Amino acid sequence: MIIYGDNKELLSFNEALGKIESLINSLEFDRYYGHNPASELLITTGEFEAALTDLLCPEVDSMDDLINLLRSLSLASAHIFINQLKRNPAETNKWIAAYREKLPALKNYGISSLLSYNVPEGYAFYSLYPEMYLKSADNFFNIFFPSEVTVIGIRSIGTSLSAVVAARLEESGSRVKSLTIRPRGFYFDRKLIIDMELEEELKASHKGYYLVVDEGPGLSGSSFASVAEKLSSLGISDDRIVFFPGHRTDGQNFVSEKAKAIWMRHMKFHSEFEEVISIRGLFPEYAGEVKDISAGMWRNVVFKNAEEFPPVFPNFEQRKYLSHDHKYIIKFAGLGHYGRDLFERAEVLFSEGFSPQALALENGFILSRFIGGKPLSASDVNISLLDRAASYVAFLKRSFPASCSRTYNEIEEMISVNLMKGLGDEWSDKFSKLSSSFKPFFSTNATALDGRMLPFEWLKINGDYIKTDSIHHHKDHFFPGCQDIAYDIAGFITEFLLGKDEEHYFINSYIKQSGDKEIESRLPFYFVFYNAFRLGLTQFSAQMSLDQDKQKFNALANQYAMNLKQRLLNAAATPWY
């Protein structure tokens, strides 16, 4: 099944350079700065280094003056980050000055091609903090006291994470070389391809330790494995190759047997989120004691019994906490601008009465008022709800225009694959025959969608309706991304099981409030789009879940499958398709 989308942003060299210049220039030379500006500088510099190095090394990783300059810039940002955590203004200011001194040299390079930025998923979605890697670097140093270390970051997010590890070891007294690489090839069997000069550079440090730094590992473990395999081929012994991953695993669930074997051979250093981040200390004026309600545990707070629980796949959920007095919820939103963008959206939605009030943003977490209203079900449909939902999607369309983040070809592939794997070749073929007719109704006039029009995420409070979980799904790494508002409309109709009269009323209410008179012609495609993605997501989640969640995901998958069949048959019977 295809459920993930490719989140990329294209920037010119000058735009990208302008972003980091703006950040470093906002740090006044003579004062101390808190966490967020230094963290954002680290992340943004790493994104810049990764994107430009990818451009310079499209097929084979190598080293040159510009690549080395980029690495030194990320290292400087890491030193700024570390020293502001240590509350050392003098060292912080020294590295701010060093960072600024490197920028003029960058401007001498005439880069005309666009840079492709990948979203660093750990920072944006999975509460992966650079501080975790600082602690791992300390743990490594305190055991081995290494005199010489080569730190290798796996692009993309490994760029800034490796800079943090390298800078920490430098400050501890180790001689450090640092570089980044990108394994290439099939996802489950990545290969590291480097030129001869870089091979010789790596072999020159064979008596030191080699630290491989990245988030993950993922399902295959092949990125870490590919780097270790290359280092081994250069004569570096297994005991000198050390992994710095984003989470603990024994590797037994890796798809790649080779990756399993390699993973077992090497030391790993990992630190947990709870070892470095204190949720209690983030919002002391609002919340002292907090309760972890991540990984579906929030259901115990919202619902009366387990039979009412919607199914949850914990790996797809963000960290969230509830204050002991049940007044506030604290939810991970993303480090740097990722969290700030979502906080700004939350403020807009609250100002119009659609969503709970977001009160503060700190170190990647948003604190909002906890609303204990009654979650809706499909049986709660009435005229008031239909008008409120129509008003909501019309407001999203007006207020959050966006660039379309998935092409028709990407969506077409997702639908075809999910139909084939979920319903069989017959239904995939039916879609293929309709695809050329659907395509004219795909719109690039996109909106930063809600993306989650599920009944239980609507609350009824004092006769009004509030939409929760409304700020981030347009930016996550799943489909749909930013799309035509027709996707959310199709989602609401599907999830609330609207009958023909209710569907007609809801659409007309939306048209009155938005002026979008062509919505009905676009909806047939977006019904297929919505249900194909949800079929893939629920089938994948069912395979990875146990017991009641597994059963409920399977029931939902069957519902989406039936919807898909009916929508495809309806489209095939429509003369203008």
Nearest alpha carbon to residue 56 among 103, 115, 106 = 115
pLDDT at 33 over 80: no
What is the mean pLDDT of the segment spanning 388-410? Answer: 97
Q: In whole angstroms, what is the distance from residue 533 CA to residue 108 CA?
A: 46
- Per-residue pLDDT band for 133 (boundaries 50, 70, 90) equals very high
pLDDT at 577 over 50: no
What is the mean pLDDT of the segment spanning 134-148? Answer: 98
Evaluate the omega torsion of the peptide bond into residue 217 and state whether it is cis, within 30 degrees of 0.
yes
Q: Which domain holds residue 386?
A: 375-572
What is the mean pLDDT of the segment spanning 146-156? Answer: 97
- Per-residue pLDDT band for 8 (boundaries 50, 70, 90) equals confident
Paired tokens of 23: 């950040």
Would you say how long the chain is, in residues? 577
Which residue type is seen at 192? L
- Per-residue pLDDT band for 206 (boundaries 50, 70, 90) equals confident
| 292 lies in the same domain as 184 | no
DSSP 234-257: TT--GGGEEEE-SS---STT-S-H
Q: In whole angstroms, what is the distance from residue 413 CA to residue 1 CA?
A: 10
> Which residues lie below 8 Å from residue 382, measured CB to CB, with a gap of 6+?
none
**In the chain, pLDDT over 70 holds for what percent of residues?**
98
What are the CB-based long-range contacts (under 8 Å, 24+) for 280-285? 282/330, 282/362, 282/363, 282/365, 282/367, 283/328, 283/330, 283/360, 283/362, 283/365, 283/367
Evaluate the omega torsion of the peptide bond into residue 226 and state whether it is cis, within 30 degrees of 0.
no
Domain count for the chain, please give it.
Answer: 3
**In the chain, pLDDT over 90 holds for what percent of residues?**
90
Paired tokens of 431: 């879609």
Q: What is the pLDDT of residue 29?
A: 47
For the chain, what is the radius of gyration of the CA atoms? 25
The CA distances from residue 200 to 62, 341, 463, in Å, are 11, 44, 71
Residue 2 belongs to some domain of the structure: no
Provide the strand spans (E) within 99-182. Answer: 115-118, 148-154, 175-181
Q: In whole angstroms, what is the distance from residue 431 CA to residue 569 CA?
A: 10
| 236 lies in the same domain as 285 | no
Chain mean pLDDT for the chain = 95
| Contact present, 302 and 327 (Cβ < 8 Å) | no
Nearest alpha carbon to residue 491 among 535, 448, 452, 443 = 452
What is the mean pLDDT of the segment spanning 377-404? Answer: 98
Most confident range, picked from 101-115, 270-284, 504-518: 504-518
- Per-residue pLDDT band for 207 (boundaries 50, 70, 90) equals confident
- Strands 148-154, 175-181: parallel, antiparallel or unpaired by DSSP? parallel
Q: Of 46-55, 80-89, 149-158, which gets the smallest average pLDDT?
A: 80-89
| 460 lies in the same domain as 472 | yes
Evaluate the omega torsion of the peptide bond into residue 480 and state whether it is cis, within 30 degrees of 0.
yes
pLDDT at 128 over 90: yes
Please tell me the pTM assigned to this model.
Answer: 0.94
pLDDT at 34 over 60: no
Provide the strand spans (E) within 46-174. Answer: 115-118, 148-154
| Contact present, 506 and 389 (Cβ < 8 Å) | yes
pLDDT at 320 over 80: yes
**pLDDT tens for each residue of 472-493:** 999 999 999 999 999 999 999 9
Residue with tokens 């074997």: 261
| 386 lies in the same domain as 520 | yes
Residue 577 belongs to some domain of the structure: no
Q: What is the pLDDT of residue 205?
A: 78
Residue 1 belongs to some domain of the structure: no
Picking from 244, 275, 306, the residue at the C-terminal end of a domain is: 275
| 204 lies in the same domain as 315 | no
Residue with tokens 């993922």: 218
Q: In whole angstroms, what is the distance from residue 8 CA to residue 560 CA?
A: 29
Residue 57 parent element (H or E): none
| 256 lies in the same domain as 294 | no
What angle do helix axes 35-56 and 158-172 make, rounded to 10 degrees?
120
- State the Cα angle at 275 between 274 and 279, rounded to 5°: 40
Picking from 369, 389, 412, the residue at the C-terminal end of a domain is: 369
Q: What is the pLDDT of residue 30?
A: 52
Q: What is the pLDDT of residue 42?
A: 97
| 60 lies in the same domain as 118 | yes
pLDDT at 463 over 60: yes
**pLDDT tens for each residue of 549-564:** 999 999 999 999 999 9
Q: In whole angstroms, what is the distance from residue 163 CA to residue 146 CA?
A: 17
| 391 lies in the same domain as 344 | no
Which residue type is seen at 553? F
